[in-house]
Structure 1
Amino acid sequence: MREQMLKSILSDLNGSSADIEASAIISADGLTMAALLPQDVDEDRVGAMAAAMLALGERTARELNRGDLDQVMVKGSNGYILMSYAGHDAVLTVIAKEGAKLGLIFLDAKRAAKNIVDIL
């Protein structure tokens, strides 16, 4: 039941922008809770990488006195990966196209993260 509710949030998020290609909700320890990813993407690897990136981001923010980590963004030649906290126990990961309108994606991701917190 909970997984279906989380997948519904991801479905709404992915539908909110043509620039969003995929999304996932990952537990703080790297386990995939719900995902709408392409067939060729391994959910477990995405979860492990997101957990590692967030741990590194938290340490970097702390070491450089930037306060609590809010999000991590990776920009590659083919687009973006945005990871943001959805409460203390979950991470929302969004994969977006190159040239995506990031302001709108940040807004939609923030709304989705709030809905995730409400469910968890």
Structure 2
Amino acid sequence: MRAEAFQNILSDLNGTSADIEASAVISSDGLMMAAMLPSNVDEDRVGAMSAAMLSLGDRTARELSRGSLEQVLIKGERGYVLMVQAGGDAVLTVMAKPSAKLGLVFLDVRRAADALAKILN
């Protein structure tokens, strides 16, 4: 039931914005809970990298007195990776096109993360 709800949220998210190419829900310890990723992307690797980035981002935010971590944004020449907390024990990771309108992506991702957090809590 929960996995189906996660999958529905990811499907809605990917369908809402043409800028979003892929998404996944990952536990804070790096386990994949649901994913809509391209077939050439290794889910285990995405999970591990997301958990590592969030851990580092959280520690950086605390050490530099920036408060609790809300998101991590990575920009590459072929697009963006955005990681947003979805409740206390999960993260929503999204891949977006290089031409993405980030304000809209942030809004859509935040809504999806809030919906995921409600299911998780």
Q: What TM-score range do you get, normalising by the shorter chain?
A: over 0.9
The residue type paired with residue 79 of structure 2 is G
Q: C-alpha root-mean-square deviation of aligned residues, in Å?
A: 0.5
- CA distance in 1 between counterparts of 2:35 and 2:7 reads 7
Structure 1 stretches of at least 4 aligned residues deviating more than 2 Å after TM superposition: none
TM-score between the two structures when normalised by the length of structure 1: 0.98
* Mapping for residues 1-120 of structure 1, pairs under 5 Å: 1-120=1-120
TM-score between the two structures when normalised by the length of structure 2: 0.98
- CA distance in 2 between counterparts of 1:14 and 1:119 reads 19
Gaps of 5+ in 2: none
- CA distance in 2 between counterparts of 1:85 and 1:47 reads 14
| Percent identical | 68
Over residues 68-105 of structure 1, what are the superposed CA-to-partner deviations in whole Å (9 max), with x where a residue is unaligned? Answer: 00000000000000000000011000000001000001
Kindly indicate whether the alpha-carbon contact (under 8 Å) linking 2:87 and 2:118 is maintained by their aligned counterparts in 1: no
SS at match of 1:38: coil
Figure out how many residues of one structure are paired with residues of the other and give that number: 120
Gaps of 5+ in 1: none
